Amino acid sequence: MSEENNSESEFTSYVVWSIAITTALLLLLPMIFVVGKETAYSAYYEGGDSKDSQLAQLTDMRASLDDNEGYFIANTMSTPMLVNDWKDPHRTLLVIIAPEKPIDETEADAIYDFVTKKGGKVILAADGTNANRLASKFGITYFDAPLNDENQFWLEYDDQGPLPYPSWQNVWSVATIETDVNGMEPGASRKGCSDFQIANDDPRACRMPVMFRSPTGIRYEPTLEDNRLDEDPNKRDVSVLATASSSAFIDMVGDGDSSNPLNPAPGDLSLMVRFDYPNIEAFDRVRSKQRGIVGGDMAEIMVTGSIVFVSDEEAFSNRLWNLDVARQTGMRESCEGVVGSCWMNEIHDNNDWKGNDAYFQMLIHSMMEFDNLELSSSVRQNSNNFQVVFDESRHVTGIISAPFVEAMGTVVLLTSNTFLKWLVVLNVGLLLLVAMMVIPEKENWRHVFDLTRFNQRPNKLDPSSYRLRVQQSLFTKVRVHHDLTRDQMASKPPAEIQSMIGDPRLVELAYSQSRTYSPQELRQLMLAIRKWGKSN
């Protein structure tokens, strides 16, 4: 009986220690992986210890897409492998900016299918190789060092004027929205997008200045998919939206020396490249004149999947997004009067820089299905029917929040349904609770009495009650030994109980009215009661 209790106690200890160790590992391992790293480029970042930290965030971008453009804004903390489970993928833009953790092969395959099979939209902005697994599937390669451009750099100003030592890593370009910048007609390539075009999201035959801060270079090389375009010429369209100048180079060594042969200067470095995949089948609400599925307004439509690769995450940052913020940090909308490097030499009218938000808002509008006339007008005319999802899973989280972010990411990996997500969390909690509470018990459970310790109670007992307490202990020991309830014990005749006891000394203790015992005799009887259950 004592061995059974020890076994149960050991099992309980194993359960408790297993849960404790598992919990500690779940909390400590994510913390170890992110120690010394700072969270950056969070769409929900609203604080910071320094002005520079706040200027590097994306809160202005999020606010403008939400408040000004009216998109439905969301974020995902889970792996991008779930993108193909999202509702209306052809009306969803996934924004991956500054991936601090590499995109793995499985995630890259999922995002590739999201664009090419579901008609999803993606903007991927990076200045390193963390995005290369995904980029390589489209023929894009990111360099892992900053680009320097001595012919296309913007100036920073203070109260006295331009700073004396301009940085070649502050790169500007004049970008298109939908067409390849290298294939534009001369007249269109010299024309800036007017205020009317910007207000009406009409990017045709015009370009806009865009600012970058320490971008890297992008190289595009045709893939096997492009080599088979003769078989399917409408498979995809590739457009280089922005380029560096022919004198730009990748500062691999870090010395800023364009003459160093270790700093590659291929002469065809891109800053933004767009891929469009037309004629993808999807289901959505259609115009009233179109025939939908039986009894409804849903029908098959053709949509376009799009992905844009950007060579710099800071192009979306608070500093470069809004012109008013840029002015406060030493930037200008005009480069008029600057000798040499000036985007106004590329376009001759409407050539003021309006902040990067003017360009990227037009780009996002162009990627969405607003111009798809197969869609119901009630869908196209309400921007809230289109989702912009910021991928937070690519960012390194803080030490304290890391365990919870990783745990939620794992849970969301199991399901993209909100209700089921919380159901999984609840079930995990219940399983842990059950594991702590459930202990195997023997059917005929018995308690082990230690009768030698009753005289050590905090309240001193009356010596006259010693015999009565020893008698009660004897009857209790007999009752428990024979698995009897109190009522069953009380209904037994004295003769039967005497035979159950068996030991003449203990029978005399139980039923003799004239026998008296000294304290020493009672101690001996207590020892006999302790041994009684083992010998019978």
Query: pLDDT confidence of 358, banded at 50, 70, 90?
Result: very high
Closest CA to 275 of 112, 182, 138, 134: 138
Do 321 and 196 fall within a single domain? Answer: yes
Distance, CA of 203 to CA of 200 (rounded, Å)? 9
Asked which of 443, 473, 499 is the last residue of a domain, the reply is 443
Do 262 and 309 fall within a single domain? Answer: yes
The number of folded domains in the chain is: 3
pLDDT digits (tens, 9 = 90+) for 86-110: 888 999 999 999 888 888 888 899 8
pLDDT at 9 over 60: yes
pLDDT at 399 over 70: no
Distance in angstroms between the alpha carbons of the first and the last residue of the chain: 15
Query: pLDDT confidence of 140, banded at 50, 70, 90?
Result: very high
Q: Average of pLDDT values for 245-274?
A: 90
pLDDT at 192: 93
pLDDT digits (tens, 9 = 90+) for 301-344: 999 999 999 999 999 999 999 999 999 999 999 998 887 789 99
pLDDT at 312: 94
pLDDT at 275 over 60: yes
Max mean pLDDT among 236-245, 285-294, 419-428, 447-456 falls in: 236-245
pLDDT at 125: 95
Closest CA to 387 of 85, 87, 45: 87
| Residue given tokens 């500007």 in the structure block | 172
Distance, CA of 451 to CA of 255 (rounded, Å)? 86
Cite the beta strand spans of 57-169 per DSSP E.
72-76, 92-97, 121-125, 140-142, 147-148, 157-158, 161-162
Per the structure, the complete domain to which residue 379 belongs is given by: 38-395
Do 418 and 481 fall within a single domain? Answer: no
Query: pLDDT confidence of 297, banded at 50, 70, 90?
Result: confident
Do 405 and 337 fall within a single domain? Answer: no
pLDDT at 411: 53
Least confident of 11-15, 183-187, 220-224, 526-530: 11-15
Query: pLDDT confidence of 434, banded at 50, 70, 90?
Result: low
Do 411 and 468 fall within a single domain? Answer: no
Query: pLDDT confidence of 463, banded at 50, 70, 90?
Result: low
pLDDT at 291 over 60: no
Do 74 and 184 fall within a single domain? Answer: yes
Asked which of 381, 415, 443 is the last residue of a domain, the reply is 443
Do 370 and 473 fall within a single domain? Answer: no
**b/e map of 299-321 (b: 16 or more CB within 10 Å)?**
bebebbbbbbbbbbbbbbbbbbb
pLDDT at 480: 85
Write out the two tokens for 500.
């159950």
pLDDT digits (tens, 9 = 90+) for 230-256: 556 668 899 999 999 999 999 999 888
Least confident of 19-28, 49-58, 499-508, 520-529: 19-28
Return the higher-pLDDT residue of 228 and 506.
Answer: 506
Max mean pLDDT among 220-229, 248-257, 357-366 falls in: 357-366
pLDDT at 454: 47
Asked which of 443, 462, 477 is the last residue of a domain, the reply is 443
Do 2 and 109 fall within a single domain? Answer: no
Do 320 and 267 fall within a single domain? Answer: yes
3-state secondary structure 126-145: CCCHHHHHHHHHHCEEECCC
- DSSP symbol at 152: S
Return the higher-pLDDT residue of 140 and 2.
Answer: 140
pLDDT at 509: 83
Return the higher-pLDDT residue of 63 and 455.
Answer: 63
Do 242 and 301 fall within a single domain? Answer: yes
pLDDT at 503: 83
pLDDT at 483: 85
pLDDT at 408: 56
Q: Average of pLDDT values for 441-453?
A: 50
Do 404 and 315 fall within a single domain? Answer: no
Least confident of 153-162, 277-286, 399-408, 420-429: 399-408
Do 50 and 20 fall within a single domain? Answer: no
pLDDT digits (tens, 9 = 90+) for 156-201: 988 888 888 889 999 999 999 999 999 999 888 999 999 999 999 9
Query: pLDDT confidence of 13, banded at 50, 70, 90?
Result: confident
Query: pLDDT confidence of 149, banded at 50, 70, 90?
Result: very high
pLDDT at 186: 87
Q: Average of pLDDT values for 113-118?
A: 93
pLDDT at 27: 57
- 396 close to 101: Cβ distance less than 8 angstroms: yes
Distance, CA of 360 to CA of 310 (rounded, Å)? 11
Q: Which long-range contacts (CB under 8 A, 24 or more apart) does 527-534 make?
A: 527/452, 528/503, 529/451, 529/470, 529/473, 529/474, 529/477, 530/451, 530/452, 532/474, 532/477, 532/501, 532/503, 532/506, 533/477, 533/481
pLDDT, the chain, mean: 81
pLDDT at 18 over 50: yes
Write out the two tokens for 59.
């809160």
Q: Average of pLDDT values for 214-234?
A: 76
